[in-house]
């Protein structure tokens, strides 16, 4: 038994060895060709590099060492010649140099092939760097004096216009001279820091003009020139005094001017109409630019007539004259149309933090259990709360703007989920069809189409509706004539029997009476859609035979239903 097991194991080992040997032999035959091909390629590449690069470098290195030894020997010989025969030294130096170039050509060739490309790259980089930092501009001169460099001729003309405007500022005259008449310019390549801005060129043109100008600080209010002061600090001090004297009306507020101020340093005409002192400027700023306007009431005047006359609204007149709300308009009464407007106004910007409601979101979902046009609230929405910080701007006592700057939600709102019906109106349950008319309402009965009693007077008195019936009318579906809200659904003791009343838009409501017992399909407060089944025709209440009493009411008063059904 053991001998047989041993033979089986030995046979398995020999077969495994034979199979593995064949497998490795096959793998070697497969890998051998591409391996040797790659190795041959590397050999070719290395040989080429060695031939064209490494060998040349080695030869140059060996030749350089020989050149170095010869140069050392030549230096010793030249020193001896300089001492003993100095006139022969130059010719010997020339001969040694010629021999070195001819004998050691490899060193010089290799050096040139290496140095020249590097030198060319350096020159190219320096050239690119130089021209990258240069710009073409117009160099402007007047005679021998350089005014500046501008980017274009348009910039120069703009500067000249600004210069003329400054020369004419505050004066009722105009310089007719062309400020560029004796100015010349030419295109030159300059660095960026040599290019002047329009303000610099403008100031240079003004300085070199024939006008009497001085350096000053121009003051502009909302873009309009007011005056110029010799010192910008003095001008700023005048405005600072006005602000500091203002007493804030509202708590936790900061004050600022309503108008926009600009200080422009430059050259201005040396004229008393242009150059002011601080006292004159302060007096000007404290004055009014618009005086109060009033109107004396004449015979036949009304508030609306006066408002139209002056292009105002009645609300604006009442706001300016609150006493008019308490008294009647009489001849001779003086009405204020506008108050004095200060030359400069101060505004207060107050930081106000208040708790505000965050409206809930209404999410609408479609449901086939409701008719189109109908909806119901599935989940009631709840408003959230947030601390809201606003910047409220006041001019006087009037808030002119409010800007929200921060909001912190303290209570998240709960979204309202509203189901919206998708059930079509043309086909509805119980296999009936809605008949649409040429009027606003659809026909209020599914199968009954005959009018058995009209609207108006009859033998029993005034009939405030129309009666609708047909053969076998009992049990026929009654339909809502239009979408609306059910305001009554149930029994009425006034003879109507089982009734439904639906309130529609525009003051309209419809009344459906004498319906079958236990057939009402809607409840009070329910929203219904146009054509929705609300009950069945019967003969309950004061009725002779099964029919539908269909009544239309406008603002509570009954009206003829026929026009609303496209029949009147």
Domain match, 491 and 512 both? yes
CB 551 within 8 A of CB 463: no
The verdict on residue 10 lying in a domain is: no
Average pLDDT of the segment spanning 262-271 = 82
* Model pLDDT, residue 170: 54
Q: Report how far residue 108's alpha carbon sits from residue 51's, in angstroms, rounded to the nearest whole number.
A: 18
Nearest to 403 by CA among 412, 394, 418, 392: 392
Q: Domain check: are 407 and 459 in the same one?
A: no
* Terminal-residue alpha carbon distance, the chain: 119
Same domain, 561 and 438: yes
Q: For 370-420, how does the pLDDT look when each residue is reduced to its tens digit (9 = 90+)?
A: 655 566 788 999 999 999 998 888 877 777 788 888 999 999 999 999 887
Is the same domain home to 524 and 552?
Answer: yes
Q: For 427-467, how does the pLDDT look when each residue is reduced to its tens digit (9 = 90+)?
A: 445 677 888 898 999 999 988 999 998 998 887 788 899 99
User: Crossing angle for the helix pair 232-244 and 278-285, nearest 10 degrees?
Assistant: 40
Are 223 and 179 contained in the same domain?
yes
Final residue belonging to a domain, choices 132, 160, 188: 132
Which of 16-30, 150-164, 262-276, 317-331 has the largest mean confidence?
Answer: 262-276
Give the span between the Cα atoms of 451 and 449, in whole angstroms: 7
**246 and 142, same structural domain?**
yes
- Supply the range of the domain harboring residue 366: 347-420
Question: Which of 359, 385, 420 is a domain's end point?
Answer: 420
Beta partners for residue 336, in sequence order: 294
**Does pLDDT of 550 surpass 90?**
yes
Across 341-354, average pLDDT: 84
pLDDT on residue 117: 82
Q: Where does the pLDDT of residue 359 fall: very low under 50, low under 70, confident under 90, or very high at 90 and above?
A: very high
Last residue within a domain, chosen from 112, 132, 152 = 132
Residue 534: inside a domain, yes or no?
A: yes
CATH number at residue 398: 2.20.230.10
Q: Is 532 a residue whose pLDDT tops 70?
A: yes
Task: For residue 490, report the phi and psi dihedrals to the nearest 5 degrees.
Answer: 155, -160
Give kind and range of the element (H or E) at residue 384: strand 384-395
Same domain (yes/no): 142, 271: yes
What is the C-alpha separation between 180 and 165, in angstroms, rounded? 14
Same domain for 402 and 444, yes or no, is no
Does 22 reside within a domain? no
Same-domain status, 231 and 323: no
Is 425's pLDDT higher than 60? no
Answer yes or no: do 99 and 183 share one domain: no
Residue 6 clears pLDDT 60, i.e. is over it: yes
Check whether 208 has a pLDDT greater than 70.
Answer: no
**CA 527 to CA 373: how far, in whole Å?**
9
Q: How many domains does the chain have?
A: 5
Q: Are residue 69 and residue 192 in the same domain, yes or no?
A: no
452: in domain: yes
312: left (phi over 0), alpha (psi -120 to 50) or beta: beta
Dist CA 429 CA 189 (whole Å)? 89
> 112-139 burial string, b = 16+ CB within 10 Å, else e?
eeeeeeeeeeeeeeeeeeeeeeeeebbb
Rounded to the nearest angstrom, the gap between the alpha carbon of residue 535 and the centroid of all alpha carbons in its chain is 55
Q: List the single range of 190-194, 364-368, 383-387, 493-497 with lowest mean pLDDT.
A: 190-194
């Amino acid at each position: 038994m053991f001998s047989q097991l041993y033979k089986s194991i030995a046979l398995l080992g020999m077969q495994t060895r034979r199979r593995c040997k064949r497998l490795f032999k096959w793998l070697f035959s497969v890998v051998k060709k591409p391996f040797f091909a790659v190795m041959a390629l590397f050999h070719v590449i290395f040989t080429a590099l060695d031939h064209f690069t490494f060998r040349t470098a080695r030869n140059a290195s060996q030749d350089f060492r020989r050149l170095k030894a010869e140069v050392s020997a030549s230096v010793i010989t030249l020193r001896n010649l300089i001492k003993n025969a100095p006139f022969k030294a130059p010719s010997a130096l020339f001969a040694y140099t010629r021999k070195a170039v001819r004998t050691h050509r490899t060193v010089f060739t290799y050096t040139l092939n290496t140095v020249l490309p590097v030198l060319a790259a350096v020159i190219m980089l320096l050239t690119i760097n130089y021209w990258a930092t240069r710009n073409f501009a117009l160099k402007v001169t007047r005679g021998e004096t350089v005014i500046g460099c501008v980017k274009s001729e348009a910039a120069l003309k703009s500067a000249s216009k600004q210069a003329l405007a400054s020369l004419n500022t505050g004066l009722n005259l105009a310089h007719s001279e062309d400020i560029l008449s004796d100015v010349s310019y030419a295109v030159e390549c300059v660095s960026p820091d040599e290019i002047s801005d329009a303000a610099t060129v403008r100031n240079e043109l003004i300085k070199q003009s024939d006008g009497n100008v001085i350096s000053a600080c121009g003051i502009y209010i909302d873009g309009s020139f007011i005056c110029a002061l010799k010192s910008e600090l003095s001008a700023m001090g005048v405005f600072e005094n006005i602000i500091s004297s203002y007493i804030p009306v509202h708590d936790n507020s900061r004050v600022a001017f309503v108008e926009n101020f600009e200080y422009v340093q430059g050259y201005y005409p040396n004229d008393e109409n242009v150059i002011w002192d601080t006292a004159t400027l302060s007096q000007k700023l404290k004055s009014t630019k618009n005086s109060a306007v009033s109107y004396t009431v004449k015979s036949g005047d009304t508030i609306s007539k006066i408002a139209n006359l002056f292009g105002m609204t009645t609300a604006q007149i009442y706001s300016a004259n609150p006493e008019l709300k308490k008294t009647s308009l009489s001849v001779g009464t003086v009405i204020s149309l506008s108050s004095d407007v200060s030359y400069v106004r101060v505004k207060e910007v107050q930081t106000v933090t208040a708790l505000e409601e965050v409206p809930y979101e209404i999410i609408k979902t479609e449901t086939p259990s409701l008719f189109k046009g109908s909806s119901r609230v599935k989940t009631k929405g709840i408003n959230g709360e947030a601390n809201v910080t606003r910047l409220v701007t006041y001019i006087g006592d009037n808030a002119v703007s409010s800007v929200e700057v921060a909001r912190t939600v303290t209570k998240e709102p709960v979204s309202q989920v509203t189901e919206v019906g998708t059930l079509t109106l043309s086909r509805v349950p119980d296999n009936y069809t809605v008949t649409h008319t040429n009027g606003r309402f659809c026909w209020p009965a599914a199968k009954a189409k005959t009018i058995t009693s009209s609207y108006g007077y009859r033998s029993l008195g005034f009939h405030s509706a129309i009666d609708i019936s047909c053969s076998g009318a009992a049990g026929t579906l009654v339909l809502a004539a239009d979408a609306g809200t059910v305001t009554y659904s149930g029994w009425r003791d006034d003879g109507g029997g089982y009734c439904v009343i639906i309130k529609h838009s525009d003051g309209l409501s419809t009344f459906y009476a004498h319906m079958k017992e236990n057939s009402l399909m809607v409840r009070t407060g329910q929203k219904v859609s146009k054509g929705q089944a609300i009950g069945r025709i019967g003969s309950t209440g004061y009725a002779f035979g099964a029919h539908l009493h269909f009544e239309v009411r406008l603002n509570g008063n009954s009206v003829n239903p026929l026009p609303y059904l496209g029949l009147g």
